[in-house]
Structure 1
Amino acid sequence: MARTAANRAVPDGDTWVRSALAQLGRVSGVHRVGLALAEGGGRRLLFSASDRDNDLALDWCEVDAYEDVPLNHSVRTGEPVVGSLNDLASLYPAFIARQPTTTCALACVPITMADQVHGGYALFYDTLQRFDHRQLANLKEIGERLGAGLRRVQRATTYASRSLADEPVPDAALAATYSVAADPRAVAPARHFARSVLATWGIDQDTIDTAILCLSELVTNAVIHTEAGCQLRVVLDRGVLTATVRDGGSRLVVDLSRVPLEPLAVHGRGLQIVSALSSRWGSELDAVGMTVWFVLEPA
């Protein structure tokens, strides 16, 4: 599915994407590169590659994040997937069978920032690779460098609408959005809304309790640290629950590795709870405020 400029993961990021593809294409021995960006942590990734016509407009396609291919696995888990095609054939037989004979080895590496995975890149090599410690460290460094650049683009991005209700929803997915006033007393009604929606969708009680705890922490953080209130959104897509909280005034991007461990550090404690209970989570800071999301996957 082609994507338009209005609903891409990086609306103002054409320059960054083209630069990233060019940088990856200069890696020695590489004849093709791919780039995937996560959309709010849910089931979808936006994918483009160096062999597409990206001159006039970036050629994105939408893919299922749970499709059993190496790059998707790397984005979901935050772990690199590397090896010769022979090495990877038993793990990804259908994907490897589709590769041309010019590809001898593959490296799929997450794009990270502040220990959060925002996407991943794939390098298709025309020669076998050692993938020793030094090479793996270089590949990780590239992913971190790309993540830092992506974060800078996000911080400068402006949107025609910041309403979560305006974001696209996958076909057959369920979605609900709620606006939270800039008042600590508004947190309880937000919890009630989310619990009622998730119960109506038939989600099991343990998952509901986990989602409500995480959402409560994020909504509380947004209300306490901004004066503009926030929105929350829950999306259920083929058994995967994605919850998002978007505020209207935060200027803080949290590096979880630097969050204090004291229980009374309320802001840090909330994010630690989200990190501990969710399958994955992340944050994006644009020119207006912060978006924080988390994912709960089926067991």
Structure 2
Amino acid sequence: MTRDRRCRFELAARPDSVPRARRLTRDRLAGWSIADETCDVAALVVSELVTNAVVHTASRLIVCELWDDATHTVRIVVRDEGPGPGVPAPHPARDGHEDHGRGLLLVDAVSSAWGTTEAGPGLGLVVWAELPREAGPLCA
């Protein structure tokens, strides 16, 4: 039976924090013996959510949390300090040549569930995603 495990890390809201978030995610999930495929998807989801927080908010700090619980679900939570215009929502790219604009569409496609909540007045936004914790080879 899987124990409830949690990890929390803080990142500066800068572009160079995105690869660090991916690395920290993979390292933690590997330590929890999460399957390779889930590690890859989790790293992708964290990358997209942290990128959105860096690009679309006025945050100085981003908080990431990883949860591995007894329901065999890996939950990813990214909280920014806001404020950013509107609530994140998937938007198709305007033309087939854009390199951005598809992050939340990707999160939606690879997650079993995802959503947003306001952290509180003036406290930013929480974006979360859930992935199945499947058996298989461990993260490298």
- TM-score bracket relative to the smaller structure: 0.7 to 0.9
1:290 corresponds to? 125
Q: Is structure 2 residue 110 aligned with structure 1 residue 277? A: yes
Structure 1 residues 86-136: Cα deviation after superposition (integer angstroms, max 9, x where no partner): xxxxxxxxxxxxxxxxxxxxxxxxxxxxxxxxxxxxxxxxxxxxxxxxxxx
> Any unmatched runs of 5+ in structure 1?
1-171
Looking at structure 2, the residues matched to 284 and 211 of structure 1 have their Cα atoms a distance apart, in angstroms, of 20
Q: Is structure 2 residue 18 aligned with structure 1 residue 183? A: no
Structure 1 residues 157-182: Cα deviation after superposition (integer angstroms, max 9, x where no partner): xxxxxxxxxxxxxxx41000110102
Q: Is structure 2 residue 36 aligned with structure 1 residue 205? A: yes
Change (3 A) 1:282 1:196: same
Looking at structure 2, the residues matched to 255 and 181 of structure 1 have their Cα atoms a distance apart, in angstroms, of 23
Looking at structure 1, the residues matched to 73 and 66 of structure 2 have their Cα atoms a distance apart, in angstroms, of 10
Looking at structure 2, the residues matched to 202 and 179 of structure 1 have their Cα atoms a distance apart, in angstroms, of 23
Q: Which amino acid is 2:113 matched to?
A: R
Shift of 1:254: 2.6
Looking at structure 2, the residues matched to 261 and 184 of structure 1 have their Cα atoms a distance apart, in angstroms, of 21
Higher helix proportion: 1
Q: Which amino acid is 1:249 matched to?
A: G
Shift of 1:223: 1.1
Looking at structure 2, the residues matched to 215 and 203 of structure 1 have their Cα atoms a distance apart, in angstroms, of 15
Instruction: Trace 1:109-258 onto structure 2 (pairs within 5 A).
Output: 172-226=3-57, 227-238=59-70, 239-251=72-84, 252-256=86-90
Q: TM-score, normalised by structure 1?
A: 0.40
Q: Whose relative contact order is higher, 1 or 2, with alpha carbons under 8 Å and at least 6 apart?
A: 2
Query: Greater Rg, structure 1 or structure 2?
Result: 1
Q: Which amino acid is 2:17 matched to?
A: A
Structure 1 residues 129-150: Cα deviation after superposition (integer angstroms, max 9, x where no partner): xxxxxxxxxxxxxxxxxxxxxx
RMSD: 1.9
- Verify the 8 A CA contact 1:222 1:229 in the aligned structure 2: no
Q: TM-score, normalised by structure 2?
A: 0.82
DSSP-derived class of the 1:184 partner: coil
Q: How many residues align?
A: 126
Moved over 6 A (4+): none
- Verify the 8 A CA contact 2:35 2:133 in the aligned structure 1: no
Looking at structure 1, the residues matched to 53 and 99 of structure 2 have their Cα atoms a distance apart, in angstroms, of 15
